[in-house]
Structure 1
Amino acid sequence: MAAIRVPTEEMAKHVVNQWFQELQDRGIHPLPSMSLREVTENVVASLLDSLTRPDWKDAARLNLRVLRFLADQLNLPLEQSLEIFLRLRRHIVRALSLLLESASEAYERIETIWDEGVLSLTVHRQTATQTALELAHRKYQALFEQASDAFLLIRLDEIGTIVEANPAATNLTGYSPEELLGMSALKLAPVEELEKFRDALQELRQKGHVRRPSIGVRRKDGMMVIVDLSATLLFLDGDTYALCIARDVTEQRRMQQRLESVVTHRTKELAQALERERYRASQMAVLAQIAAEALEAVSEDSVYQAAANALKEHLGLYNVALFTYDKDRHELILKACRGAYEEVWSPIYRQSADVGLLGLAVRTGEPVLVNDVTRHPDYFQATPAESATRSELVVPVKLHGEVIGALDLQSEQVDAFDEQDLQMAQAVADQVAHALEAIQNFNHVRILQELNEQIVENLPYAVALLDDKGNLVIANEQFCQGICRRPREEVIGRHWKEIVPDELQKSLLANHFPSLDEAISAAVHHRQDFFLPEVPYGDVWLDIRVISIRGAQQHRVMIHIRDASLRVRRIYQLETLMAIAQAMESTYEINRLLHAILTAATAGPGLGFNRAILFLIDKTEKVLKTAMAVGPLTAEEAYATWARLAAERKTLWDFLREYPGDEAVRQAPLMQYVQDLVIPLNEENLLSLCLSRHEPIRVANPVNEPRLPEKLRALLGDAEAICVPLVAQEEWLGVIVADNAFSRHPITEESERLLRLFASSASVALRNAQLISELKESLEREQKMREQLIHSERLAAIGELAAKVAHDLRSPLVTIGGYARQLQRNPSDPERVRRNIQIIVDEVERLERQLRDLLDFAAPKKPRLKKVNLSELVSRLAEIHRPSMEAAGVHLMVDFPSEPLFVMVDEIQMERVLLNLWRNAVEAMPEGGTLSVRLWREGDFVKISIRDTGVGIIPDELPNIFKPFYTTKSTGSGLGLAICKKIVDEHGGQIEVESTVGKGTTFTITLPTTTM
């Protein structure tokens, strides 16, 4: 099948092309539709293919029906359609003969399917056509009978016989259907309209169609109606007919006439309105011109002049003038004038605001309209030339409610101005005020812009402004030359990547900063600011800020670059000084401190001097003595030391932590050289002068300085040296002498400033060390004295305690002795023996209790903590002691929550605290009362409240109740509450008391909870 498919499609295309060419040769032009041709080619190809198959009869019938349907789409009459379909058949037979290689077989197969298919399709088509004709006839009849327009079918014979008329025609003409049928159509034509009807008939015969609007038709009653007539020429059964359709437009014509009358009247009104609108347009033109020229105005005078010119040009006024109001002088000053008084009023014309219509408008702040100035009492004629004025309109010019001027319009005619003129003048005055404000604002903005440009240009740091595409809009000289190293003309307008050096961008990345590209992109797209501090760039350090500037309509990015080198150096210096200060503060040993001070002065990471000598004041002898020296004595020693340190790469902290020991310091060559130096404290000495002035002294050439000791001059030589005083709180401590004898580095102002700051810290540290040394000595003396005092106080306390114990023990012992002797004297009285023995037992128990309290207070046991539910403990103790309390007339009430309240306590000690407080409460209620015990949780604590209704404690005694041996009871030891407080304190808790005399006392214990 694949081998036959290609030639079949080519043959089908050839068949269709030949068939369409024949159609065109016969004058049949199918619609130019490529889809019809393509579909026909596909169907013919499918038909040829099916006719070559074994089941060609069944396979070809469907394709033939489709092909016949496509032929019908040409919309030709049946006979012509069959003819052209037969022509297509001949072309198909030729193509099939080539495919079957047999003309007879091809003809037979086509003949077999063609007649059957075409006949079937033709019968179907005739049936469908007949059905369509019947349906069309019914539709025509319905349209003809029910149409609202009159339908008349007229045979075009000598009289124009009416052969058909619909109901609407009878209504239009007033004739019945019987009267109309057979009647001459000329009877319906009025005499005056006959010529129009003849013209219409002639045009109908020529063109086949005619239309005559608004033509008269005579009714049966003689009245004439106006109709819109249209007629179409028809040929039926050999005769010629005219189908006429008439629409009654009589009422429409009457309405049209009335409308024309209204239109004529309205046209006059519109003409008058047009004239008014022309004047209004002139007023609008004035406003538009003023607005346009105000936009271009650069000064206030140009605004006044533009307003005067526009009013004069468009409105043709007699005179136009604008004034400003001088509030201080209460005068109106002429700013612009156009018209009759242009030559009369000089440019410096002034008028008092107290006279004239101008003054009235300015004083009241309201417009003044006078259409006959000769009758107005406030009218003021400044010059004789103004006598021609008859009408005047004055409008104050206001800005933010304040009068700043006036607009004056004058006319030589009476009643020249109306309300519209007033509104127009008010609008002009408002425009002038807004334009003046805009110019003031513009000038203010221009001044600010110039000021901003000057500020940006004179800023001590680099500033550049980028647009949202990264192009430079503004850049000051610092940015162009200092950062980009280019002239300004090569920077402005270019993209930042083209002019910012790569060195700066690489430095950002090398120091783990965001790239400049990332920062600018984030500022543009995400409105995010960036601060990139202390970026190294060449031999300087830069602070770079990328700032997003948010505008109402446009977005900008500012690059702000400041030289941070000085700050970086200062920070490094301060950090160095801070490290030195911390190192010095970390030791209070004098020798270690002195070594740290001199090491900081000479170490490379520190102040970096070659060597330093520290002299301290001997207050007894009033001299300066060498305390310590650090550094090399000779150049060879210096070079060897520097080489060793370069290999070790020590930090400042490494230097400061090292201390070789007192002996090693004393044996150093430099220290050996200067250790015997003693310098008197007098003004002739340079070091004494340095101390008295409290400021460093630089010595340019020490060897030639006579105020230095000879040995020190020889040591320092000709290298520059510096002396720095050590002074703390106005107290002289000593002097540091430093130099750069071997490196020959100059001692700069910066070095001197650092050394001064260093000396301040060193002085404080040295003074602190001296004070601590003195304090240690004082503390040692004080410790000895304290031990002696404690020993004395202990002996006194023992005596007092012995007296107290003896007093407390004496009473029960006396009682026991008395009753024991009674027993000895009367042992035979059983009742007396029992009573005396009970008293002796009670006194022994009291004595034991007092001794136990005394022992517990003197040697307390460490609490053995465990997790205890305080609610259960209180509940258990309440059940045990409730009967004894009730026997004493005390009602016990216990309140605690349902959930457990766990605390870490020594259960036995806490039991003792509770029972002691309960016992005291019962004793405080000799006549009975209520004891309330309440437990609750409060945050991370559990609280116990013990409240009685007893006699209370007087306020003066409350501060003392927890003190040992303090009691208000005759038989108390004074240790019960003291022991309670001690136990609670050892549990990390707190005990508080509140009391009111006559009402009772409340003790509150607070203990920490546990989550164990």
Structure 2
Amino acid sequence: MADLEDRDKTDPIFKLGFEESPVANHIGVLTDANKGLRRKIFDLYTIFEISRHLNSMLNVESLLDATLFTCIGQMGVAGAAIVVQDPSDNKLSHFHFKGLTLPKDVSIQFSRVGRLVRHLQRIARPQLIGELKDVVQPDTEDYSKLKAVEAELIVPLISKGNLLGILFLPRKLSGQPYQENDLEFVSILLNQLSVAIVNAHLYQSEKEALLELRSAQKRLIESERLAALGRLAASIAHEVNNPLGIIKNYLTIISKSPGTSNDIKKNVTIVHEEVDRIARIVRQLLDFYRPTLEQQVELNVTEVVDSTLDLTSQKLQSMGIEISRIYETEDIKINGSPTKLKQVFLNLILNARDVMPRGGKLTVSACRRNGFAEIEFIDSGTGISPDELPRIFEPFYTTKKESGTGLGLAVCHGIISSHNGTISASNNASGGAIFTIKLPLLFKGKND
């Protein structure tokens, strides 16, 4: 058979073979374009599905997890990392990663005034590590951080012109470079993530505001209820006071009358002591509803706590009760009445003593938090029954069935309220009860 070159060039078969090459090239171009379109459609479908998934999430950690796993699967990489803005301090310090092995001593957070962050904020598009050689120098902290996360592709997370975070992707497992469609995919994905993060933060802030509103309503209802009980108690106290005075006078007359036997005097003394006890209860009732007004002065709350503990430490230690003092700082200034606050602290210490008759541990802590001096009394006793917790500050309600009047904690509540503070009770997870007092700080620092 003759070779193709020897054939007549007018032969149709020869012409078909000659013209086959450009047709094949055209088919190849169409095939590549078809593959590109299919990849785009797949990417768009993935974006659609992940967007729907992200929009259903209201937890930032879950959002970051879903984004990183999507990037790992879609980009063909071993791992991924992202750092986003922490709502509490507006810094890029909330770091999250999957599939990477990081040095133990590395801290991945970025300053908003750093060159890398300002560059990403300005260009607002993905950058390959090679494109950042003029922005991030090898001897800088930013370079060390990029190296720690094995960053090959750096993608800014932008929302309304504000940089919310940065995504870091390492080299592909295949060794292939990142293509334009890869950059387009992660850009769209992070746009969706930025919307979802903003929504999650809005939801969280709304949730916190709602919880605070409900808490304020609960405190208001509780305050009004206690005030109503206090008014009732005060009116009873006033009515009881007058006949008590008359009884005491007649008891004095009987005890001093000539010819009164010793037995009668002994009985009169017993009655007199019980009348005095009733009088003390009446005074507590009046203190609960109308606490004695004392001038509030600048004071160091830790000094008041220490002086109260010093009064009781010997007795507590003799009962096998260990005292632990944990103060964030020795200088926590408030405006208050030292006498009244000492009364509150003493009541809480004695209550703790009563629930640890065989010994235990009393921990007293003090710190500055959110504009308040926060003092906690933590005992290792049996704790408070869940049924009793809501009523613990009610007047006449007591867990000491034989010896309690039910006014001690009610009076404490009144005193703390007169200091524009709050007092609450809860159970410790490891056993025992926690009484928490919050009083407004006199001087508020930047971190308070």
Q: Report TM bin, short chain.
A: 0.3 to 0.5
> Larger RCO: Structure 1 or Structure 2 (Cα < 8 Å, ≥ 6 residues apart)?
2
Instruction: Give the TM-score, by structure 2 length.
Output: 0.42
Larger radius of gyration: 1
Instruction: Give the TM-score, by structure 1 length.
Output: 0.21
